[in-house]
Each structure stands twice: as structure tokens, then as C-alpha cells.
Structure 1
Amino acid sequence: MALLVLATLFTGCVGNGGETTPSTTAAPTVQSISVTGSTTVLPIAQKAAESYMDANAYADIQVSGGGSGAGVQAVGEGTADIGMASRDLKAAEKEKYPDLVQYVVARDGIAVIVNPAVAVNSLTTEQIKAIYTGETKNWKELGGSDMTIVVIGRDSSSGTREFFSEKVMEKADYVSTQLEKNSNGAVKQTVAQTPGAIGYVGLGYLDATVKALKIDADGTLVEPSIETVTSGDYPIARTLNMFTKGEASGLSKDYLDYILSPAGQKIVEEEGFVSA
């Protein structure tokens, strides 16, 4: 019996070459959330998701567009964890989804853009409205060359369109010949490729392929820029938002906290928008 006990003790001491078997730590469980909605907010959400996932291997953040209306509906009905919108909630949305919580992640100016061949450099909001209602049809009426104005806008699910409708159009009807596009990128591309075209996009979509018009505000020409939105001088400015159903928790909260952190707000500025 004594020999059996000694043999057992001896085996325990040398069974691993004298080393203790290291304990294994389970890999962290992957956490997933979905973010959908506004194509204006989309580049901020995507870059922030990529940066967050690089630092947190357990996180899986799926980001997609579809428009502000689709984003609000998705988070309100529970098919997405976070909804993106480039406008505030409509009264009907507040009534239908009373528990949505708003997070302002950035600020933005809506830039009115034209094809680079258009000779006009500035317009008043009244002149822009006249173009989009169809009252003004040719650039020569605005001091430009004899060229038909091609009106480019956004589809009905767009938060950018909703804000433009309230701020510039004052709820007036759009001209029936307006070409409706489903994203900022599509508007920019169409304006860049179409002689005489005019459109509107978020600040983050401006580049050399289009010309951004200055807004004539009571005789003062104000260009769309981070500086003029920050100062409050640019007249067509808004907030960019994310919504959750109830207060954010878990990965959704961590992701939103990251976007609102200095690192996240740096991404906002790198994407051409104004920090919240």
C-alpha cells in the first residue's frame, strides 16, 4: 500500500517533466451589432467601426446604408441595434417609436454643388428653391451661360432631402423632372458627369470633381466648410445622429462612446464633418 502511494506521488511530480500544466483562458465571445441608415453618417460609422474592431477582436460591427428613414425604422422595430439619421426624428416617428434615444455624433453642412462647367459661383437660398421648384430653368437667368439646369436630388427616404425640404424648400414641391438618387455619392457622381447639373451633399463628400457654391446670406457669401459650420455662419447646417431603442448598452454603448471620444471625433473631422 505504501509503495502504491509513493508511486502515485512520484508520477504526479514527473508526469509533465516537472512542469505544471498551464491553465488555458477561453477566447472572448464575439459580440455583434448592426448599424444602418443615413448614407451621410455612413463613412463616419464605417471608419469608427473599423478602428474599434482593430482594437477589440471580440467586436463584430456591421454597418450599412439605406437612408435615414430606413435607419430609424430598423432600430425602432428592432431589426438593427443602431439607426443612423442625418436629421431629427419626425413627429410620426417619435409617436411610433417613443423609446428611441438620440446621440448627436457630428455636425454637417449641406453643400449645394454644380458641375464644374457651370459659371455661377453663389446663390441665395431663394434662388436655390426656385431651381428645385422648376421656376428657374436656365443658368443664364442666374448670371451664367445659356445652359439648361439639370436638377439632381435625393429619394424620399433620405434625411438629407428631408432637411433640405424644410430648410431650403420650405415644404414646396420639387420639379417633376428632378433626378432622384439614393446616396450622397450618387448625387456627386451624377453632378460631376452631367453638364448644367446641380445637387446637394454632405460636407464630407466634397472633392475636386464638383464645385461647391457659396450661399449668399444677406449679401455675405458663405462657403460650405467646417469653419463656417462651426462658427454658425453657414445657413444650411444640421446635426448627424445615431439612435438606439432605449439607452445604449453592451457593445452598442461602447461603440457610441468610442465615436464620441476624442479618437472618434478625430475620425469625424478626417471624414470632412464637424465634431459634435
Structure 2
Amino acid sequence: MKIKKRILASGIIGLAFSSILVACSSGANDENNKQLTGTLTSVGSTAMQPFVEEASKSFMASNPGVQINVQGGGSGQGLTATVNDTADLGNSDIFAEEKEKIDASKLIDHKAFVVGIAPVVHPQVGVTNLTQQQLIDIFTGKVKNWKEVGGKDQAIVLVNRSESSGTRATFAKFALKDNQEFRGNGAIVEDSSGTVRKIIGQTKGAIGYLAFSYIDNTVKALTLDGVQPTNENVTTNKWLVWAYEHIYTNTNGKNKQLEDAFLKYILSPEIQNGLVKKLNYIPIIDMKVERDASGKLK
């Protein structure tokens, strides 16, 4: 009888211990298997758009409960939408502090990577290099024909981004030395980098500017004062026309957990060394210099 009681007691204890193990195991699995759900809206820079679209696709593939809607519209639109909390992520080629009527105190800056920006022309203008002063003269309307800078006898056709564009702001600040005469008057103005590339590639005499990630064999990137527009030259600031690509979030964002997860994914070595480089952007870690919002080297 005592033996039976001992066996019964041992069985009860064993069953209880097993139950504890199962409960603990189940709790750990629940935590590990907790899936992200929800929707993010990403708005802004078209220079960043190819990257954000690709990163979103791969993130959603790993997190089927997540939907990320990516829109362009320019840096200004992205910053405004994020301040107003109508977008979760505001993609910008410029610091929020640089944009008029943007309350930067409502935003958190996440530097995602760096992009170089270059003047690009129709491949048959007959010019491969310009001095910075020649470039300024072209975009301020002082030079109107390519023959004036060593090219063909052909009228210059300016192709600009809209005033809300961070690519335009960066180009004006660093390529044109923030020249106050640059207003884009008389130029073709487009909201999309992709459209700018298409127009330049199809329009004789055209000149505009694009992020390195948009430059292909339909257009010709120019050297400036003999300096090549390459990622390597950007990392040392030898090529001056570059910008941080920022993803801004609202300080009171309603989707903070999902925002943080996506931003952590973007800054992961997998994405920085993979997708960032694949699309001809520059990982933050590769930069040998650092600039502040005023454009000065730190």
C-alpha cells in the first residue's frame, strides 16, 4: 500500500513538473512566434523610393501581417505628411531643419544611407566635364547654348525637380553654391526622378540632375572640375554633391513598434551591405566624413 502511495505521489509530482515545463515552453514559443501586424505609410523622396520599395517588399515577405504603402512626392511632402501624422515614415534628402515651415521638433531623424547626386545630360550634347561656375551659369540662365561651354551648337534645355524636392535642394546648395538666382524659371519641372531621367534621355540639349541610383546609359553624368561622380569620391567629400537619406518618424507616431522594427531592418548589416550597395547608395558606415544640417563638415 505504501509503495502504491509513493508511486502515485511520484506520478503526481512528475505530471505537475511536466505541466510546468510545457507551460514555460509554450510561453517562450508564443513570445518567439509573435508576428508583427499593421500598416505603415511611407512618403517623400523619389531618390529614396527605389530603395524603400525594395526594402518594404522583403520586409513584408518576412512579415505577412504587415502592409507598407510607399509613395513619392518629394522630401517636402514626406516631411509635411510625417509632421501632420498622415504618414508614418517621411523620406527626405535633406535635414528637416533645412525645410521652411517644418517643425523639426516633432520629428525623429533616422539616417538610412547616403546618396550622391550628379548633373546629367543628353548623351549627345558634346560635353563630359563642366567647371562649377559653368554649371552655375547654365542653371541661372547666363549660358544658353552648349557651344558656350565647348559642346555642340545646340540650345540648352533645363530639366528641374519641383521646389519640394530634396534632390533639387541638395543640388542647389552644393553644386550651385546656393546661388540665389537659381529659380528654375523657363525649365521643365517634374516631381519624379524617373520622369526627369526619361525626359533628359529623350530631349536633345537637355541637362538636369539625378541621384546616382537613377543614372543609367540613357543619360550622361558629367564630371565637375574633373572630379568623377563616384561613391568613393562621395565618402571622402571629394565629390561635394551628396546628401544623407533620412527616414523621419513623428515623435508621437501611432505605429511606433512597427516603425522601429522596419527601421531596425533597414539599418541591419544584411540591408546595408546588400540592398543599399546593390542600388548604388552608400552605407552610413562607409562614410569617412560627416556633415551637419548646415552642410559643414564636423
Query: Given the alignment, which residue of 177, 183, 190 partners 1:181?
Result: 190
Structure-2 residue corresponding to 1:242: 247
Q: Which runs of 5+ in 2 are unaligned?
A: 1-25, 285-298
Equivalent residue, structure 2, for 1:15: none
List 4+ stretches of structure 1 deviating above 6 A. none
**CA distance, structure 2, for counterparts of residue 106 and residue 125 of structure 1:** 26
Amino acid aligned to 1:38:
S
Whole-angstrom CA distance in 2 between matches of 1:75 and 1:82: 6
Q: CA deviation at 1:107?
A: 0.6
CA distance in 1, matches of 2:120, 2:45: 19
The question of 1:87 aligning with 2:94 is answered yes
The answer as to 2:222 corresponding to 1:213 is: yes
Report the Cα distance in structure 1 between the residues aligned to 2:86 and 2:151, rounded to whole angstroms: 48
Give yes or no for contact 1:33–1:60 (8 Å, CA) kept in 2: yes
Structure 2 CA distance for partners of 1:92 and 1:224, relative to 1, 3 Å? closer
The letter for the 2-side match of 1:224 is: P
Partner in structure 2 of residue 172 of structure 1? 181
Correspondence for 1:119 among 119, 126, 129: 126
Matched with 1:100 is 107
Aligned partner of 1:66 among 61, 68, 73: 73
- Which residue of 210, 216, 227 maps to 1:201? 210
Give the CA deviation at 1:90.
3.5
Which residue identity is paired with 1:106?
F
Give 1:213's aligned amino acid.
Answer: L
Q: Identify if the C-alpha distance between structure 1 residues 175 and 82 changes in structure 2 by more than 3 Å, giving closer, same or farther.
A: closer
Matched, 1:251 2:258: yes
How far, CA to CA, are the matches of 1:55 and 1:112 in structure 2? Answer: 38
Q: Where is the strand percentage greater, Structure 1 or Structure 2?
A: 1
User: Partner of 2:105: helix, strand, or coil?
Assistant: coil
Structure 1 contact 87–162 (Cα < 8 Å) conserved: yes
The answer as to 2:273 corresponding to 1:273 is: no
The change in CA–CA distance for 1:175 and 1:80 in structure 2 (over 3 A counts) is: closer
Q: Is the 8 A contact 1:134 1:174 kept in 2?
A: no
TM, length-normalised to structure 1: 0.85
In structure 1, what residue type is equivalent to 2:195? A
| CA 1:92–1:272: 2 relative to 1, 3 Å | closer
Contact kept? 1:134, 1:175, Cα under 8 Å: no
More helix by share: 2
Q: Is 1:190 paired with 2:199?
A: yes
Q: Deviations over 1:234-271 (max 9, x none)?
A: 11111111100128731101101111111221211111
Query: What do residues 186-214 of structure 1 show as CA deviations (whole Å, max 9, x unaligned)?
Result: 11111000001001000100100001001
How far 1:61 sits from its partner (Å)?
Answer: 1.2
Q: How far is 1:29 from its partner?
A: 6.7
Q: Distance in 2 between matches of 1:158 and 1:175?
A: 12
Answering whether residue 149 of structure 2 is matched by residue 149 of structure 1, we say no
In structure 1, C-alpha distance between the alignment counterparts of 2:192 and 2:211, rounded to whole Å? 10
Cα distance in 2 for residues equivalent to 1:165 and 1:95: 19
- Which residue is equivalent to 2:237? 232
Aligned length: 249
Displacement of 1:175 = 4.9
TM-score (norm 2): 0.79
